[in-house]
Amino acid sequence: MDRIVITGGAPLSGVLPISGAKNAALPLMIASLLTGDTLELANVPRLADVQLLLRILGNHGVDHTVVGRRPGESAETGQTLRLCASTVIDTTAPYELVSRMRASFWVIAPLLARFGEARVSLPGGCAIGTRPVDLLIMALERLGAQIDIDAGYVVAKTPKGLKGAEIDFPKVTVSGTHVALMAAVLANGTTVIENAAREPEIVDVADCLVKMGAKITGAGTARIVIEGVPRLSGARHEVLPDRIETGTYAMAVAMAGGDVLLEGARAPLLQSVLDTLVAAGVTVEPTNEGIRVARNGAGIAPVDVTTEPFPGFPTDLQAQLMALMTRAEGASRIRETIFENRFMHVQELARLGAKIRLDGDVAIVEGVERLRGAPVMATDLRASVSLVIAGLAAEGETTINRVYHLDRGFEALEAKLTRCGAQVERVRG
C-alpha cells in the first residue's frame, strides 16, 4: 500500500495550480443521466472518486471519452470528459459500487426523473458519521415518487412522472439539495426548494443544468425555484475551482511559511476561510491570477472557529485548520457542528506532538513550539491531508499511511507541493 513521506522544515514558494472542484464534478457527472445528448465537462480533476463514478455511470450504460489535452492542460490542471447517456440499459446501482462512494447514491434522482424508476443501494455508514439519506428520500416523495426499501435497496417509481412540489428541508443538506434539483428539472410543474444549501457547488451544478435547458432561479440562496421542462439537451461546462483544495494549500503555506500563488483560486468561494487565516496572521491577497498566500517570519495567532454551512467555515477544512493551530501561539477552539464523528485525526496529530483536548463537539488546541515527525495513519480524506500539513512543519520525517484517502480528493498532491519546494515523496508498495 502506498505511503507518503514528508521531510519537514522547507518553506513553500512559487505557483500552485488549483484543480476543479471534486464536490461539483461528481454531481455534474451524475447530471449526464438527465439527457440522451452529450455533456462535456472541462476542468474535471483526476481523482480516484472520478474514476469510480465513471465505472458506476458505465454500469448504467453511460459512454464516456476523455478528450485529448488542450493548451494549458497538464496532469495538474484537470481533464475534459464527454459523457453520453443516450442508451441507459440498467436503472439499478448495485451495492458493491454505491458502498464505495456515498455521492453515487444521487443517481437515483436523474434515473427516476428521466426513466420513471430507479433501484439504488443504500450507501451504508461512513467514517465521519452516518449521514442518512432520509432527507433525499423525503424530497423525492414530495415530488410524487413511490419509495420502498427492499433488501438494502431504495426502490423508487413514478408511473405518471414526477410533479412539481414544495420541498422544505428541516436542515440544510447539500446532498438533499443536489437530489431535489436534479429530480425537479424534469418534473411537471414548479418546484420550490426551501432552506436549500447555498454552497458554490450547488450553483455550479445549477448553472450547468440551465445550459442544458433547465429553468432554475435562486441557486446560491436558501430558496430555489425550478420550472420543469420535458427534456434537457447536451452542453459544455467548466467545473469551478476547488475551494477546499484552495483552503488546504493556503493552510499548508501558512504552516510551512513562504509565499505561494494559488493559481485559478477564487476568493469569494471561501471568504470565511481567508478571513480566518488573516486573523491567524497570514497574508492573503486576491489577484487576477488567483490568491497569494504568505507567511514570512511572523508567528501563527490562535483562532476560534465553528463549522457551518456555506458561507460559514466549511467542515471539509476543519481538520486542516486544526493542524495549523497545533503551531499557534496560544489556545484555539474548533467546534464541529456538521458531522458527529469528525475528530478522528486528533490522535494521529498527537503522535506528532500536538496537544489537543476534546470536549464534546469542541476541540481545544494548545499550540506547541515544535512538532516531530512520526508514522501516522490517515482515517479519512480531509484528516489525511491535515497530516500532510502537520508534516510540512514537523522536525524530521513523517510517514503517512493509507494515502488512498488522499487520492480520492487531491489531484497531484505530491507534484504540486514539490514544485513549491516541499520535500514530499510517494513510496509505492
The CATH number for 71's domain is 3.65.10.10
Q: Are residues 274 and 422 in the same domain?
A: yes
Q: Are residues 223 and 104 in the same domain?
A: yes
Which residue positions form the known binding site?
22-23, 102, 131-135, 316, 338
- Residues linked to residue 207 through DSSP beta bridges, in sequence order: none
- Residue 249 host element (H or E): helix 243-256
3-state helix, strand, coil in the chain (%, to 5): 35, 30, 35
The grid cell for 186 is 424534469
> Domain of 297?
3-18+241-427
Q: How far apart are CA 356 and CA 359, in angstroms?
A: 10
Q: Are residues 245 and 234 in the same domain?
A: no
- Count of CB atoms situated within 10 Å of the CB of 126: 12
The 3-state DSSP class for residue 169 equals coil
Q: What is the pLDDT of residue 77?
A: 65
Q: What is the pLDDT of residue 381?
A: 77
Q: Are residues 132 and 169 in the same domain?
A: yes
Q: Which one of 195, 216, 238 terminates a domain?
A: 238
Q: What total number of domains does the chain contain?
A: 2
Per-residue pLDDT tens digits for 240-274:
999 999 999 999 999 999 999 999 999 999 999 99
What's phi and psi for 351, nearest 5 deg? -65, -25
The grid cell for 118 is 430507479
Q: What is the pLDDT of residue 404?
A: 87
User: Are 356 and 318 contacting, i.e. CB atoms less than 8 angstroms apart?
Assistant: no
Q: For 61-133, where are the alpha helices, taking DSSP H only?
A: 95-98, 108-115
The model carries a pTM of 0.95
C-alpha triplet 399, 401, 406: angle, nearest 5°:
105
Q: Which one of 238, 256, 278 terminates a domain?
A: 238
Q: Are residues 77 and 11 in the same domain?
A: no
DSSP secondary structure string, 17-81? EPPBPHHHHHHHHHGGGG-SSEEEEEEE---HHHHHHHHHHHHHT-EEEEEPP-TT--TTS-EEE
| DSSP category for residue 340 | T
Q: Are residues 249 and 231 in the same domain?
A: no
Per-residue pLDDT tens digits for 22-44:
999 999 999 999 999 999 999 99
Which residue positions form the known binding site for phosphoenolpyruvate?
22-23
Of the listed 84, 126, 208, 420, which one is catalytic? 126
Q: What is the pLDDT of residue 124?
A: 59
Q: Fill in the amino acid letter for 172.
A: V
What would you measure as the largest C-alpha separation in the chain, in angstroms?
66
- The number of residues in the chain equals 429
Q: Are residues 158 and 111 in the same domain?
A: yes
Q: Are residues 272 and 376 in the same domain?
A: yes
Q: Are residues 104 and 83 in the same domain?
A: yes
User: Is 126 among the residues known to form the active site?
Assistant: yes
Q: Are residues 228 and 293 in the same domain?
A: no
Instruction: Write the burial class of residue 48 (CB in 10 Å: 0-12 exposed, 13-18 middle, 19+ buried).
Output: middle
pLDDT at 380 over 90: no
Of residues 130 and 236, the one with the higher pLDDT is 236
Q: How confident is the model at residue 73 (pLDDT cuts 50, 70, 90)?
A: low
**Pairing between β-strand 362-366 and β-strand 397-401 as defined by DSSP bridges:** unpaired
Q: Fill in the amino acid letter for 31.
A: A
Q: How far apart are CA 159 and CA 146, in angstroms?
A: 9
User: Are 249 and 274 contacting, i.e. CB atoms less than 8 angstroms apart?
Assistant: no
pLDDT at 87 over 80: yes
Q: Are residues 416 and 290 in the same domain?
A: yes
Q: How confident is the model at residue 342 (pLDDT cuts 50, 70, 90)?
A: confident
pLDDT at 362 over 50: yes
User: Are 98 and 130 contacting, i.e. CB atoms less than 8 angstroms apart?
Assistant: no
Q: Are residues 213 and 344 in the same domain?
A: no
Q: What is the pLDDT of residue 340?
A: 72
Q: Fill in the amino acid letter for 347.
A: Q
pLDDT at 128 over 60: no
User: Are 124 and 99 contacting, i.e. CB atoms less than 8 angstroms apart?
Assistant: yes
Per-residue pLDDT tens digits for 187-241:
999 999 999 999 999 999 999 999 999 999 999 999 999 999 999 999 999 999 9
Of residues 73 and 348, the one with the higher pLDDT is 348
Instruction: Write the burial class of residue 194 (CB in 10 Å: 0-12 exposed, 13-18 middle, 19+ buried).
Output: exposed
Q: Which one of 189, 215, 238 terminates a domain?
A: 238
